[in-house]
Structure 1
């Protein structure tokens, strides 16, 4: 199968659909329309004209950045696309983020992000969240 990694964001509809297909927490179309343009950087993986993978970096662009929305459609998982997406995001960080930048993520795959240099924050700190309903 032929895949193309592109430096682009998904459309809001693609974003919402891909998160749903990948079993991630849903986002509204309105939220995606408002949020996606505020990304620092993003990539998509395209197969036969369809977006089947994505990932992006959010934050202020210099002091705090977060890898987020890394997703691959279940029909295309197991082909290294998540690794390609994450590597593209990390490469962008090394090329664009200043030396003092703090980069974080919510790791939902044990042992995956360490290969890119990420370390657990515990016990020094712990991740927390607030979901707006």
Structure 2
């Protein structure tokens, strides 16, 4: 579903400052400018949504090898712009990019926070539950 005015979906990454502002403003953990720059540079695909003032209000990206492993990350929207279809538009555009540019049979994963579960499930993502042992290491 396309975004309605005054929002604009663009296939470019945000600036480092906007990446940090949107992450922290939507409740995601703070990242340093160095981390933000590396995240932007290391993305396979990026989408951001610009609001009425031309500032980034939402975003999402794909980390991937271009062949078969893809991780959707940094899916977030500033609270004052939620419930406007931004998350769905970003996710749909990212998935379309995988379907268009990657070989058929790609493995697409993400970590779903409780507020995003309904969106991800509506796009066909399933909870792996006991069939997978998710593991995490923070350094």
TM-score tier by shorter-chain length is over 0.9
Q: Which residue of the partner structure matches residue 110 of structure 1? A: 117
Q: Which residue of the partner structure matches residue 43 of structure 2? A: 39
Q: Which residue of the partner structure matches residue 65 of structure 2? A: 60
Aligned CA-pair RMSD: 1.2
2:16 counterpart of 1:8 = no
Q: Which whole-Å CA distance do the structure 2 matches of 1:53 and 1:127 have between them?
A: 27
Classify the secondary structure of the residue corresponding to 1:120: coil
Runs (4+) of structure 1 moved beyond 3 Å?
A: none
Unaligned runs of 5+ in 2: none
Q: Which whole-Å CA distance do the structure 2 matches of 1:28 and 1:106 have between them?
A: 21
Aligned counterparts, 1:22-101, within 5 A = 22-47=26-51, 48-101=53-106
How far off its partner does 1:117 sit? 1.4
Is 1:90–1:116's contact at 8 Å kept on the other side of the alignment? Answer: no
Number of residue pairs aligned between Structure 1 and Structure 2: 132
Unaligned runs of 5+ in 1: none
TM-score normalised by structure 2 residue count? 0.89
TM-score normalised by structure 1 residue count? 0.93
Residue deviations 1:46-71 (CA, integer Å, cap 9, x gap): 01210101110002111211011011
